[in-house]
Amino acid sequence: MADILSVTSLNLYVKSKLENDANLINIAVEGELSNFKKYPSGHCYFSLKDEKSTIKAVMFQSYARGLGFVPENGMKVVVRGKVSIYERDGAYQLYVTNMFLSGAGAYQMAFDRLKEKLEKEGLFDIDKKKPLPQIPFKIGVATSAKGAALHDIISTAQRRFPCAEIVLAPCMVQGAEAEPTIISAIKQLDSIDDIEVIIITRGGGSREDLWVFNSEVIARTAFACKKPTVSAIGHEIDFSILDFVCDVRAATPTQAAEIVLPDIYSLKMQLASIEKSNSRQINRNIDLYKNKLALIEKSDGFSSVKNTVNHNKEFLSRLQDSMKKSVERKIEKLEQQIYSRTQILENQSPLNNLKKGYAMIYKGETAVKEYTFIAGETAKIVTFSQELDCEITKVRKRKI
């Protein structure tokens, strides 16, 4: 190799060598983080070291935003990526696409440190816990619009309390980039007036998947909520920082819905039993008063008045009877008098005399009592059965 190379050409040559080495294209390296620096652009620069050696590394923003935790110096991590060279400096380095905390110990350390800090500040205090509403008709849910958690909550709500309304604030639920979306979802739900309780949830996943719910900012946001909050992150065994801050921790999304929503059937039964008891009581009260009335009616005081009234009634009716009878007797008497008068009158009638054989004499149309007839005159004689036209032939004076 007799040619004289430029620095740039050399660096480019080495770079192409490194990038074409199958062993260096996709590698995993374990080490301790040092000199970690995140720039405003989002790119992260740091070194990985072990007891003897160190290597520079870069994680560009497009990869760094998917981080499940906030890297700190001293953390033991495993990174994935490739080895290449930065031509300008001739420095070979790791280009990191993924970073995980290595070993359970590292996670636990970070978790414990934050938990202790927030606990000291009082974010977990029992007396700061808000009581859940007994019968909420509108609940807020912060979760992924596509996740199993939402599905579980909806189907539990449909079964348990279908008259409720669920307000969904969709957010991401995984990776560091989920953090601001979760915070915004919680804040939005807390600002809606008639939402009575907020559930923050996601379904099961790996420890790394759930890690974002150990965020300090999310914890503080949940703590600042005016409304009661319920967390349900992952499965029964998974505990997150959020679980300690929220007013109630549910083991699963389904359990969260069960804790928050009442059972409609037992509510309906409760209402039915109140309805029944009220009807029974009102009828009992009415009966009670009916019985009281019956007792009063039967009481001495009341019955003596009643007796007096009855006596008076009887007296009146007897009086009425006797009056009626005496009037009847009077009428009878009068009728008899009328009858006997009629008899007398009838006896005195001239017709009666005619029956006895007397006759009446008419001069013209007039019956006469005293009239001096002369011979040759005419008269009419009326007997009981006949009328006689007569001519007077002779008149003699009668001696009385």
Partner 1 sequence: MKQTFESAMVRLEEISEILSENNVTLDESLKLYAEGVKLLKFCNSKLEQAQIKISDIEGNLLEVE
CB of residue 69 to partner 1, shortest distance in Å = 29
Rounded distance between C-alpha atoms, residue 329 and residue 24, angstroms: 147
In the bound complex, what is the minimum distance in angstroms from residue 150's beta carbon to partner 1?
7
Q: Between 146 and 341, name the residue whose CB sits nearer to partner 1.
A: 146
Interface positions with partner 1 (CB under 8 A)? 133-135, 137, 150, 154, 157-158, 162-170, 188-189, 192, 264, 267-268, 270-271, 274-275, 277-278, 281-282, 285-286, 288-289
Whose Cβ is closer to partner 1: residue 27's or residue 272's?
272
Please say which residue, 281 or 317, places its beta carbon nearer to partner 1: 281
Of 137 and 315, the one with the shorter C-beta distance to partner 1 is: 137
200, 182 Cβ separation under 8 angstroms: yes
CB of 128 to partner 1, least distance (A): 23
Residue 102: left if φ>0, alpha if ψ -120 to 50, beta else—which one? beta
Helix, strand, coil distribution of the chain in percent, nearest 5: 50, 20, 30
| CB of 270 vs partner 1, minimal distance in Å | 8
Residue 115 structure tokens: 């938990």
In the complex, least distance from residue 297 CB atom to partner 1, rounded to whole angstroms? 17
Q: Which is nearer to partner 1, 101 or 189 (CB)?
A: 189
Q: Where are the beta strands (DSSP E) in the chain?
A: 27-38, 44-49, 54-59, 76-86, 91-101, 138-143, 165-170, 197-202, 229-233, 248-249, 360-363, 366-368, 378-382, 387-391
| Closest residue by Cα to residue 193 from 240, 226, 229 | 226
Q: Helix, strand or coil for residue 282?
A: helix
Q: Which is nearer to partner 1, 134 or 348 (CB)?
A: 134
- Give which of 129, 133, 201 is closest to 164, Cα–Cα: 133
Question: Angle, nearest 10°, between helix axes 178-191 and 216-223?
Answer: 0
